[in-house]
Amino acid sequence: VAKVIFPNVDSDEARNLALEWETTFAAIHDGVAVVDGEGKIRRSNSSLALLLGRPLDALTGEVCHKLWGSSNVDRIPFYPVLESRRRQTVEFEYQSKHIQLSVDPIVTNSGVVSGAVYIVRDITETRQLEEQFRESQKFETIGTLAAGVAHDYNNLLTSIMGNASLALNDLPEQHPIRERLDDVVRASQRAADLTKQLLAYSGKGRHYLQKLEVTALVRDTEKLIRAGAPKLVDLRFELGSALPPIEADLHQVQQSLINLVTNAVEAIGEASGTVLIRTGKQDGREVFIEVVDDGCGMDSAVRERIFDPFFTTKFTGRGLGLSAVAGIMRGHRGRIEVNSASGQGSTFRLFFPCVVPAPAREPAEVLRETATILVVDDEDMVRRIARAALEPRGHKILMASNGREAIRQVQKNRQIDLVLLDLIMPVMGGEEAIDEILAANPNLRVIVSTGYDERETSLRFAQKRVAGFLQKPYTARQLTEAIRAALAGE
Ligand SMILES: Nc1ncnc2c1ncn2[C@@H]1O[C@H](COP(=O)(O)OP(=O)(O)OP(=O)(O)O)[C@@H](O)[C@H]1O
Ligand SMILES: [Mg+2]
């Protein structure tokens, strides 16, 4: 039975109206307080009590603007509102919540300000989401920036690396300058690695992919895992042998494993328990890493939300562990399986696609050692390096500085055997031009050269007849090898 707010009403209709109003007041999700001319609470709803962490009954008679901590008293515009007779809204922190509070004057029929209404809202989550959104926008911007820089940078590095390696070729074995030039090549290789990392961080180059075997990875991570697990937890390993390799970022997969084990250990808590780490393969197409614990387990309501950022049931948790794992698995085109019930422990399984062996390319009809090669790049430096590296090997070199020129040349010159095609160029880029280039001559081979992540690029061109990829920056040796392999149909 709702409390009667208007004790003096006597008709049924009026009583029902009062009840309606009372129910509405109580149902509002925002905290609401009606205060008198001195700011003392006459009425408040349970949402306000919840926000303040105090029983509802205890609030009546309290001065509302003094309830939000001494540091906020002066922020709350109670008197200014009485004076101006206008609503005012403020925001402040209270008990690590982000609070939005507005005060509205109550003006009686006779035009006197008799008090005010407070509406108080916890906007912590909204602010967090805004923050997340800003973060992701920032990443987007950094990504675009990094990708742009990396493109120019890789062209410069191609010139540095290419020239140094060409000069090395011309020097006699014992020449004292060799050492200097070796250093130049090494340093530019490191600079190239740095560009890659920048791209990985920005999310544009994805990550550092390498061939990995998950059992070896788990073994290498064992020390880290043991360090994080308390003595009472029995850590066991059941690791499959001779598993097919996966293509993955070592650190990210390690991080995922550690996050899962940490959760498992935390689910066991103070008690003793077992955490089992398994690896194996499934259907010959996937490899898995599994973490099993006999801890507290999860009910379905928790299980549904575990991958949400900031979802946690722990006092000190941030709720980011599993969101990170989910992000990493997305980046690896993998998937996650979760099995758990309250009190029954949990099983988390990470599945990774195995590396598919590259399909055998059709053998070359003519095995040519020397060829006519069209080098398509907007950077003169890069074109010159290609000429300097390839001409001494007997190749005939033609140049084009964008996709449109390239199309024109292959259409009128049937002698061209191979096109080395850059992706980003003014007027027309490589991706736009490739179909017409390939259509001009069915025997033509195309090598795509790119400053971006090679795997990304090869995925983008998966449907096209591309003879090879060459990651910028490259040495003269890498270039000639790519050309040789493409001509040999490897
Ligand atoms: N092995 C597990 N057993 C029981 N519950 C789990 C297990 N793993 C995760 N959970 C549940 O999923 C929630 C989210 O996990 P997640 O790792 O994302 O965050 P967290 O562990 O709470 O905090 P953080 O990892 O950021 O320190 C946990 O709070 C817990 O309720
Ligand atoms: Mg965690």
Q: What is the pLDDT of residues 220-229, one digit of tens each?
A: 888 888 877 7
Q: Which pLDDT tens digit goes with each residue over 170-214?
A: 899 899 999 999 999 999 988 887 776 666 555 444 456 788 999
Residue ID of nearest Cα to ligand 1 atom 17: 321
Residue 103 to residue 85: CA distance in whole angstroms:
10
Q: Does any ligand 1 atom lie closer than 6 A to the CB of residue 311?
A: yes
What is the mean predicted confidence (pLDDT) over 310-339? Answer: 84
This prediction has a pTM of 0.43
| Ligand 2 midpoint to CA 266 (Å) | 8
Please check whether residue 284 is in contact with residue 244, taking contact to mean a CB–CB distance below 8 angstroms: yes
Round to whole Å and give the CA distance between 199 and 460: 17
Average pLDDT for 136-165: 77
pLDDT tens per residue, range 75-114:
999 999 999 999 999 999 999 999 999 999 999 999 999 9
pLDDT for 138 beyond 90: no
Strands across the sheet containing 396-400: 396-400, 372-376, 418-422, 445-450, 468-471
Q: Which of 266, 263, 273 is nearest to 350 (CA)?
A: 263
Query: What's the CA-to-centroid distance between 325 and ligand 2, angstroms?
Result: 10
For residues 428 and 401, give the distance between their C-alpha atoms in angstroms, rounded to a whole number: 9
* Residue 442 preceded by cis peptide, ω within 30: no
How distant is the alpha carbon of residue 423 from its chain centre? 25
Mean pLDDT of 365-372: 66
Query: Does 310 sit in the ligand 1 pocket, CB within 6 Å?
Result: no
d(CA 355, CA 244): 7
* CA–CA distance, 185 with 178 (Å, rounded to integer): 11
Which ligand 1 atom lies nearest to the CA of residue 324? 18
The verdict on the CB of residue 268 being under 6 Å from ligand 1 is no
User: Residue 456 — very low, low, confident or very high, per pLDDT cuts 50/70/90?
Assistant: low
| Residue 331 φ/ψ, nearest 5 degrees | -65, -20
Of 209-213, 225-229, 238-242, 453-457, the one with minimum mean pLDDT is 453-457
User: If pLDDT is split at 50, 70 and 90, which confidence band does 471 have?
Assistant: confident
Neighbours of 13 (CB within 10 A): 8
**What's the CA gap between 229 and 217, in Å, rounded?**
18
Residue partners of 254: CB distance under 8 A and separation at least 6: 217, 220, 221, 224
The number of CA neighbours under 13 Å toward the Cβ of 24 is: 7
Long-range contacts of 23-32 (CB under 8 A, 24+ apart): 26/2, 30/119, 30/120, 30/121, 31/118, 31/119, 31/120, 31/121, 32/117, 32/118, 32/119, 32/120
Kindly indicate the confidence band of residue 365, based on its pLDDT and cuts at 50, 70 and 90: very low
Q: How far apart are CA 312 and CA 128, in angstroms?
A: 15
Percent of the chain with pLDDT over 70: 89
Is there an atom of ligand 1 within 6 Å of 487 CB?
no
Ligand nearest to the CA of 340: 1
The pLDDT value recorded for residue 207 is 57
**Residue 2: per-residue pLDDT:** 45
CA–centroid distance, residue 306 to ligand 1 (Å): 7
Contact 362, 369 (CB under 8 A): no
Mean local confidence (pLDDT), 395-417? 93
